[in-house]
Structure 1
Amino acid sequence: MRIVVIGGTGHIGTYLIPELVARGHEVVVLSRGERTPYQDSGAWRQVELQQADRTAEDAAGTFGRRVRDLQADAVIDLICFTEDSARQLAEALQGEVAHLLHCGTIWVHGPSTVVPTKEDAPRTPFGEYGIQKAAIERYLLTKPQLPATVIHPGHISGPGWAPLNPAGHFDVSVFKKLADGAELALPNLGLETVQHVHAADVAGVFVAALANRSVAIGESFHAVADGAMTLRGYAEGVARWFGQQPNLTYLPWAEWAETVPERDAAATWDHIAHSPHCSMEKAARLLGFRPRYSPLETALDALAWLVENNKLT
């Protein structure tokens, strides 16, 4: 197949593009050109790379037509964040492609209620990101004559960037404390959950959906590691990986939020307010896909890269 991947040089594309090439597909990648893949692969020499500024082209109303004119059999959209952007692309591609795959987010679900959350759970998103992604999903999967699939990743992690830490934000000093055996304060009782997923496993769900087009069209699928981690369990796993005993304390939210910068507190609140724990049963049943990495293995793979590249000492 001829496959166009929009935003293919980032987290997911680093693993997805080489896999598509290995399977014999002809691949065109549209990217702003501001990022290179996190891992080198000879497969990229077989890929057609085109520079594209989607925001500007959406504003001009030309991006959808540009993608259509590439005459792809399938289009994988990894960087669509508004319903208007999704609508422009979908209208241009309707009747022109055999499969459109969109990258969503498990945050379309809003706060977890019954866990593990399945794809058909009611949508109660909050925050602009989750709300827009839920609107995109609703539009794509209810548009007649559009062969679409939506893949909802959890928190994407892997070698090359810092994963979400056990305090629910992105400051790598949290990992340093755990490595040193220093005391780490967690909000509340540390029992809220986060759900990582390795970028390779997210890519795997997209590949599986392409390979099982007949059952994937019109459906959404989670892309997460099996199971979620509590903040406490995550911290304990990281500490022991460093050969330390966990040294954890707990503070009520209001007190804890005063101990970190406002930006970190906001990130933590977003994550613990969602406390996701999503199911992978549907992907296993319909696509035959099961994630390779556990939640902790996912985070530790990213953490090992930080250590090996002197991002964390």
Structure 2
Amino acid sequence: MGERVLVIGGTGPTGVPLVRGLVERGHEVTILHRGTHESEATPAEVRHIHLDPYDEGALREAAEGARYDTVIAMYGRLRRIAEAWAGRTGRLISVGGVPAYRGWMNPVLAGPGGLPIPVPEDAPLVGDPDEDAKGYRIVRTEQAVFAHHPTATHIRYPYVYGPHQLAPREWCVVRRVLDGRRRIVVADQGLTLHHHGYTENLAHALLLAFEQPTRCVGRIYNAADDQVLTVRQVIDTVAAALGHTFEVVSLPYELAVPARPLLMQPAPEHRVLDLSRLRADLGYRDLVPPHEALAHTARWLAEHPPEPGGPEERILTDPFDYPAEDALMDAWTTLRAGFPEPAFATAPAYGLAYSGPGGRPRANPDFTA
């Protein structure tokens, strides 16, 4: 017999596939949300409670009503949710964010070179509001969750991508494709690694936690795609999905101003999560490989383009100022063309252990395999 499950939220990019998965597994699902973003993909048998999850009084009243075996909190003030359902549910699964890590939003805090790669769940957390006020609040919220629900399971989300995402980083590429742009700026060859999670993959991680309660009691998990793509790989994958190619113009990070919305941070350092705990405890593997997920997201955005200058573009802070981009790229090309060749007495090489293109020639040119 299935459980009675309350999902707080449940209509967002990861909420819909989570709710669908719970229903497919035979559970009785109720979603608590404002009712302003109903989804056609929500199964018809799901019960709806319409109230504002940020309304503390309404939350307490809802918690005093029907009892649920599991509450999954994906939206609203998580501290207040944890407090309202303390002692009123058998289990709490909560969703938070990776800015809890000290250095995720400000790499300098993690020391020279930024965060360790990958970042495990026991990495240092933000402990000072003066360093990172948002990260500090996230950490305090996690502490409140376990204070009220010692057996809770907490999932730390990275940036989410997929259809219906309100901050679709892929739109920075998709719109340029639709606008017929042939050049795009990246910082430092676009080699920055920035962990994201596809909607279906993150919902899958939550379902694995739900289905294996004894394995994740009192545990915190990073959740994200198995594979981390560079910014350049994201651009190439999105463009290819739309039958487009770009000339990728690499500038030093300090000059690559148009690349900032894709970097999503004021630094070129990597942000990569350690998923070994999620894999070992719960058997996580991506349902959808990132290249496929990105291609699907790109095509969806092309078919459902955000309004120019609308909320998505304001969140991304990408002005799509093509004359300014062209002027910057042209200036960089001119600068490189006039840059003097360095006059080394002996040219630096790649080391004698390197055997790839431009490396050490074979000692015996007549050798055959």
Give the counterpart of 1:5 among 4, 7, 13: 7
Give the counterpart of 2:28 among 26, 40, 44: 26
Q: Tell me what 1:233 maps to.
A: 233
How far apart are 1:62 and its partner, in Å? 4.3
How far apart are 1:49 and its partner, in Å? 0.5
8 A Cα contact 1:20 1:27, kept in partner: yes
How far apart are 1:202 and its partner, in Å? 1.2
Secondary structure of 1:5's counterpart equals strand
Give the counterpart of 2:150 among 137, 146, 166: 146
How far apart are 1:200 and its partner, in Å? 1.3
Q: Tell me what 2:94 maps to.
A: 102
How far apart are 1:311 and its partner, in Å? 6.1
Q: 1:196 to 1:272 in 2, by over 3 A?
A: farther
Deviation digits for residues 64-98 of structure 1 (CA, Å, limit 9, x no counterpart): 34224231111111113xxxx43332233222211
Matched to 1:283, the amino acid is L
Q: 1:311 to 1:212 in 2, by over 3 A?
A: same
Q: 1:219 to 1:35 in 2, by over 3 A?
A: same
How far apart are 1:287 and its partner, in Å? 1.1
Q: Tell me what 1:174 maps to.
A: 173
How far apart are 1:305 and its partner, in Å? 1.2
Q: Which 5+ residue runs of structure 2 have no aligned equivalent?
A: 108-113, 308-369
How far apart are 1:286 and its partner, in Å? 0.8
Q: Tell me what 2:299 maps to.
A: 304
Q: What are the equivalent positions in structure 2 for 1:1-80 lying under 5 Å apart?
A: 1-37=3-39, 40-41=41-42, 43=43, 45-55=44-54, 57-58=55-56, 61-80=57-76
How far apart are 1:303 and its partner, in Å? 0.9
Q: 1:68 to 1:101 in 2, by over 3 A?
A: farther
Q: Tell me what 1:202 maps to.
A: 202
2:276, 2:69 → 1: CA distance? 28
How far apart are 1:241 and its partner, in Å? 3.2
2:227, 2:275 → 1: CA distance? 9
Work out the number of aligned pairs and report it. 291
8 A Cα contact 2:10 2:74, kept in partner: yes
Matched to 1:122, the amino acid is P
Matched to 1:131, the amino acid is Y
Matched to 1:140, the amino acid is V
Larger Rg: 2
| Residues 1:285 and 2:280 aligned together | yes
Which has more helix, going by share of residues?
1
Q: Which 5+ residue runs of structure 1 have no aligned equivalent?
A: 167-171
- By relative contact order (CA 8 Å, sep 6+), the higher-ranking structure is 1
Secondary structure of 1:102's counterpart equals strand
How far apart are 1:234 and its partner, in Å? 1.6
8 A Cα contact 1:196 1:225, kept in partner: yes
Q: 1:154 to 1:272 in 2, by over 3 A?
A: farther
Q: Report the aligned-residue RMSD.
A: 2.8
**Bigger Cα displacement from structure 2, 16-25 vs 156-165:** 156-165
Matched to 2:88, the amino acid is E
How far apart are 1:212 and its partner, in Å? 0.9
Give the counterpart of 1:86 among 78, 81, 99: 78
8 A Cα contact 1:196 1:228, kept in partner: yes
| Residues 1:193 and 2:193 aligned together | yes
Q: 1:152 to 1:272 in 2, by over 3 A?
A: farther
Q: 1:131 to 1:247 in 2, by over 3 A?
A: farther
8 A Cα contact 2:174 2:302, kept in partner: no
8 A Cα contact 1:9 1:36, kept in partner: yes
1:286, 1:277 → 2: CA distance? 19
8 A Cα contact 2:126 2:132, kept in partner: no
Q: 1:244 to 1:91 in 2, by over 3 A?
A: closer
Secondary structure of 1:255's counterpart equals coil
| Residues 1:122 and 2:114 aligned together | no
- Give the TM-score, by structure 2 length: 0.70
How far apart are 1:163 and its partner, in Å? 6.4
